[in-house]
């Protein structure tokens, strides 16, 4: 240790002479955890993960628990070191939001026909940790019937049981350490929970803010008065009703945000077999020949670049390529690699490698808007504006939520369901953005499952959310406001994502086709009526002055619909663009996450969901990533991991090591200056030496 201390001191002096990279909060610990600051990576790895967001970092952590295998993560965004305060402080999701910054992809949809031709802004995290570093921190699970519907859509294929509720719940629990609220916080928010539904030893911390804005304490009683009962255990398989949601908050760390990087990477012990390369955009997968066993085309490498102007590099892959770029990134990579629909690839000027018409299809998103009220109650913004705030105030995030089913939204849910089913064939013919018969068959399958299993079930169809940050009402209104949001959870509208050119640095064409199915506007309209009713129900009503938006002029169904089409926008939950469905149903991956027609490429992120969930997608995606890691480990002769990421025993196994599991660095130009490269080279050597 003495020699190590002296060596680190020497390296520190060298850093002072040469200068550390100005864009990073550089420290030695990051080198041990695998984050590469100077571009030095090996020529080849066992596993290359494309995307350093939620799923990518979970997989990196879990797969590298076995020291016999080398793992590389390629992340298009930066490390997030320079944004630590904005990321770590929960309240800064509102007050110092990273949306619209370099940590955001800043996508936009094409103009939406049913939304007055508005293009909708689609933010996505472009930083280590992905959207878990920039989102609203909600940890809300789907209901059991939704997970079981996902499983059943696989038609009994091998591995399908992994996605049913009982197994998915275990995976979500595995990711989590639940910390109950203090007595004061539980009382202030009228918080109910059941610890047995949560995990107790996972990397991700889930809990509640250290401060509750007082009006939140009225939520569940108000919803009960409006006809939506309180749910005392929203995480155990029944997600309906009203409750105060858990958030990705770590009370043991000053109520800081707990996200994919802090939970799964920063917490790691030193690992010499893991590299995470930021500012590296994946441009395509490189393929060799066919697998001799008939499994499909073999990926031999991954091409990437720091920017459109930089030279492209290729890193070799010995075992698997894993796409974890999310609902936009993963299908885009497949398209640019020549995997997708023939006509889309031809139009973009990309050579066809494997014809897979379902890539980019089945896109679904939650659609939301709000009813705004003036209030006499303090809001988060009004408290922030005071000269001093209560202790832990900046840990507060919105968490009052409810899920309303069709029985709570409609006077006759059966008639609504019957109308949907009666128009199944015509909807498929007119709404599916593909002429391919398999894609149409997949639409019919998911559409039918949604209508028959979910629409009249207890699962939520509309999410209702209380925002007490202090949103602004209509133009000219300066009063203190709260809002009640309504968000469509199971859209029947299906959109698509296509690439527009062969340039991987050009944003894809995103068309969620919002409200293209007439059933969607009916539920959203009725959900907004419930949002209005909540503001008129005690005890919340006692602090409401008046409705600001849409206001008393909106009363009839037609008036509601005319108003909402000009207001609704994304709830930031795109999914389903690489759907897990049988290939004959236009699927992209099988239940073991393998891409059809490819021997060693998987997709593991929210793009593989075949249906939307009545939930925020972070929790279920952590569960998916945990399941994916065990599926991949099993394929290579390794046992499942335990909950802890720091337990070396959980990474042991009899898997066969590739030739040379240690990492030999290779200079990749375009990432750093010569001086900082030398510093990082010394530090890499030291970090590997101490393992």
Report pLDDT digits (tens) over 584-638: 999 999 999 999 999 999 999 999 999 999 999 999 999 999 999 999 999 999 9
Most confident of 15-29, 97-111, 636-650: 97-111
Question: Beta strand 481-488 with 462-467: parallel, antiparallel or unpaired?
Answer: antiparallel
**pLDDT at 154 exceeding the cut of 50:** yes
Split at pLDDT 50, 70, 90, the class of 645 is: confident
What percentage of the chain carries pLDDT values higher than 90?
83
Do 75 and 278 touch, CB atoms closer than 8 A?
Answer: yes
Do 610 and 580 touch, CB atoms closer than 8 A?
Answer: yes
**3-class state of residue 492 by DSSP:** coil
pLDDT (0 to 100) of residue 387: 86
Residues annotated in the binding site, as ranges?
127, 282
Residues annotated in the binding site for FAD, as ranges?
127, 282
Which residue, among 221, 212, 154, has the nearest Cα to 187 in the 3D structure? 212
pLDDT (0 to 100) of residue 671: 41
Residues 6 or more apart from 188 whose CB is under 8 A from it? 212, 214, 216, 217
Point out the least confidently predicted range of 7-21, 27-41, 460-474.
Answer: 7-21
Residues 6 or more apart from 199 whose CB is under 8 A from it? 172, 173, 174, 175, 176, 177, 178, 643
* H-assigned helices in 175-234: 183-189, 219-225
DSSP string of 374-411, one letter each residue:
EESS--HHHHHTSSS--TTGGG----EEEEE-HHHH-S
pLDDT (0 to 100) of residue 685: 30
Find the helix or strand (DSSP H, E) in which 302 lies. strand 297-305
Dist. CA 644–CA 268, nearest whole Å: 10
Can you name the CATH fold of 81-270+359-387+405-636? Answer: Glucose Oxidase; domain 3 (3.30.560)
Dist. CA 130–CA 77, nearest whole Å: 8
pLDDT (0 to 100) of residue 684: 31
Backbone angles phi, psi at 381, to 5 degrees: -70, -40
Give, in degrees to the nearest 5, the angle at Cα 293 between 288 and 297. Answer: 25
Give me the mean pLDDT over the 76-93 stretch: 97
Which residue, among 164, 206, 501, 474, has the nearest Cα to 336 in the 3D structure? 501
**pLDDT at 544 exceeding the cut of 80:** yes
pLDDT (0 to 100) of residue 22: 30
Q: Which residues are catalytic?
A: 573, 616
Count CA within 13 A, CB hemisphere, residue 585. 20
Do 142 and 457 touch, CB atoms closer than 8 A?
Answer: no
Give me the mean pLDDT over the 145-169 stretch: 99
pLDDT (0 to 100) of residue 664: 52
pLDDT (0 to 100) of residue 663: 62
Which residue, among 445, 409, 441, 610, has the nearest Cα to 522 in the 3D structure? 409
pLDDT single digits (tens) 90-113: 999 999 999 999 999 999 999 999
pLDDT (0 to 100) of residue 677: 33
Strand partners, 544: 375
Give me the mean pLDDT over the 55-74 stretch: 98
Residues 6 or more apart from 231 whose CB is under 8 A from it? 192, 238, 239, 240, 241, 242, 243
pLDDT (0 to 100) of residue 482: 96
Chain CA centroid to CA 531, Å: 26
Do 614 and 489 touch, CB atoms closer than 8 A?
Answer: yes
Locus of tokens 């930083």: 127
Q: For 570, which DSSP code?
A: E
Region at 196 (left for phi over 0; alpha for psi -120 to 50; beta for the rest) = alpha
First-last CA distance in the chain: 12
Which residue, among 366, 510, 492, has the nearest Cα to 430 in the 3D structure? 492
Which residue, among 582, 499, 667, has the nearest Cα to 36 in the 3D structure? 667
Cite the beta strand spans of 522-580 per DSSP E: 544-549, 569-570
Taking every pair of Cα atoms in the chain, the longest distance, rounded to a whole number of angstroms, is: 78
**pLDDT at 27 exceeding the cut of 50:** no
Cite the beta strand spans of 239-280 per DSSP E: 241-244, 246-247, 249-250, 256-257, 274-277
Mean pLDDT, the chain, as a whole number?
A: 90
Question: Beta strand 313-323 with 601-603: parallel, antiparallel or unpaired?
Answer: parallel
pLDDT (0 to 100) of residue 662: 52
Dist. CA 324–CA 56, nearest whole Å: 5
Which residue, among 630, 604, 614, has the nearest Cα to 170 in the 3D structure? 630
Count CA within 13 A, CB hemisphere, residue 463. 32
pLDDT (0 to 100) of residue 23: 34
Give me the mean pLDDT over the 212-239 stretch: 98
Question: Beta strand 462-467 with 569-570: parallel, antiparallel or unpaired?
Answer: unpaired
**pLDDT at 185 exceeding the cut of 70:** yes
pLDDT (0 to 100) of residue 587: 99
pLDDT (0 to 100) of residue 432: 86
Split at pLDDT 50, 70, 90, the class of 471 is: low
Which residue, among 247, 510, 489, 275, has the nearest Cα to 392 in the 3D structure? 247
Domain boundaries of the chain, sorted by first residue: 81-270+359-387+405-636
Give me the mean pLDDT over the 399-419 stretch: 96
pLDDT (0 to 100) of residue 122: 98
Helices 165-174 and 617-635 pack at an angle, to 10 degrees, of 100
Split at pLDDT 50, 70, 90, the class of 425 is: confident
Split at pLDDT 50, 70, 90, the class of 246 is: very high
Split at pLDDT 50, 70, 90, the class of 647 is: low
Point out the least confidently predicted range of 111-125, 165-179, 413-427, 496-510.
Answer: 413-427
Assign 3-class secondary structure to 119-158: CCEECCECECCHHHHCCCCEECCCCHHHHHHHHHCCCCCC
pLDDT (0 to 100) of residue 215: 97
């Amino acid at each position: 240790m003495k020699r190590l201390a002296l060596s680190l001191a020497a390296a520190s002096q060298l850093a002072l002479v040469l200068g550390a990279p100005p864009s990073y909060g550089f420290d030695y610990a990051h080198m041990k955890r695998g984050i590469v600051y100077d571009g030095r990576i090996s020529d080849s790895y066992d596993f290359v993960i494309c995307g350093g967001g939620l799923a990518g970092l979970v997989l990196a952590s879990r797969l590298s628990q076995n020291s016999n295998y080398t793992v590389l993560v390629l992340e298009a965004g930066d490390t997030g070191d320079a944004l630590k305060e904005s990321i770590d402080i929960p309240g800064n999701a509102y007050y110092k939001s990273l949306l619209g910054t370099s940590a955001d992809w800043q996508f936009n949809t094409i103009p939406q026909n049913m939304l007055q031709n508005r293009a909708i802004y689609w933010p996505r995290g472009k930083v280590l940790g992905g959207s878990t570093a920039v989102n609203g921190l909600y940890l809300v699970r789907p209901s059991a019937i939704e997970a079981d519907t996902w499983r059943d859509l696989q038609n009994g294929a091998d591995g399908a049981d992994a996605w049913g509720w009982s197994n998915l719940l275990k995976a979500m629990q595995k990711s989590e350490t639940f910390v109950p609220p203090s007595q004061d916080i539980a009382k202030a928010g009228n918080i109910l929970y059941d610890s047995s539904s949560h995990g107790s030893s996972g990397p991700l911390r889930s809990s509640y803010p250290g401060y509750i804005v007082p009006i939140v304490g009225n939520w569940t009683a108000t919803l009960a008065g409006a006809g939506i009962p309180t749910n005392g255990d929203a995480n155990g398989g029944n997600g309906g009703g009203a409750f105060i949601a858990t958030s990705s908050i770590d009370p043991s760390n000053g109520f800081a945000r707990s996200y994919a990087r802090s939970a799964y990477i920063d917490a790691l012990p030193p690992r010499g077999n893991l590299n995470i390369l930021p500012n590296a955009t994946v441009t395509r997968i490189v393929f060799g020949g066919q697998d001799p066993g008939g499994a499909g085309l073999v990926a031999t490498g991954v091409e990437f670049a720091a920017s459109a102007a930089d030279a492209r590099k290729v890193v070799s892959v010995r075992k698997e390529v894993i796409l974890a770029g999310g609902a936009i990134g993963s299908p885009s990579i497949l398209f640019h690699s020549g995997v997708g629909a023939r006509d889309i690839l031809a139009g973009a000027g990309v050579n066809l490698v494997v014809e897979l018409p379902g890539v980019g299809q089945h896109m679904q998103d939650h659609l939301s808007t709000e009813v705004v009220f003036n209030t006499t109650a303090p809001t988060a913004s009004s408290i922030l504006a005071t000269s001093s705030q209560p202790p832990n105030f900046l840990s507060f995030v919105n968490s009052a939520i409810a899920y309303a089913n069709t029985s709570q939204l409609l006077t006759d849910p059966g008639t609504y369901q019957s109308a949907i089913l009666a128009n199944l064939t015509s909807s498929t013919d007119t709404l599916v953005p593909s002429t391919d018969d398999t894609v149409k068959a997949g639409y019919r399958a998911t559409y039918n499952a949604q209508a028959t299993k979910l629409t009249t079930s207890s699962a939520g169809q509309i999410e209702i959310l209380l925002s007490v940050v202090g949103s602004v009402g209509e133009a000219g209104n300066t009063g203190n406001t709260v809002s009640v949001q309504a968000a469509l959870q199971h859209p029947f509208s299906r959109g698509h994502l296509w690439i527009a050119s062969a340039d991987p640095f050009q944003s894809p064409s995103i068309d969620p086709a919002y409200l293209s199915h007439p059933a969607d506007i009916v539920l959203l309209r009725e959900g907004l009526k419930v949002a209005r009713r909540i503001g008129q129900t005690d005890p919340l009503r006692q602090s409401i002055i008046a409705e600001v938006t849409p206001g008393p002029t909106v009363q009839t169904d037609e008036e509601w619909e005319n108003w909402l089409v000009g207001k609704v926008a994304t709830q930031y939950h795109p999914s389903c663009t690489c759907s897990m469905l049988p290939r004959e149903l236009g699927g992209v991956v099988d239940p073991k996450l393998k891409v059809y027609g490819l021997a060693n490429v998987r997709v593991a992120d929210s793009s593989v969901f075949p249906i939307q969930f009545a939930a925020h997608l972070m929790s279920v995606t952590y569960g998916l990533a945990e399941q994916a890691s065990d599926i991949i480990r099993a394929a290579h002769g390794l046992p499942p991991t335990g909950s802890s990421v720091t337990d070396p025993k959980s990474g042991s196994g009899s898997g066969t090591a590739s030739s040379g599991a240690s990492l030999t660095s290779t200079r990749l130009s375009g990432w750093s200056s010569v001086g900082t490269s030398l510093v990082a080279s010394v530090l890499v050597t030291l970090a590997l030496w101490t393992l």
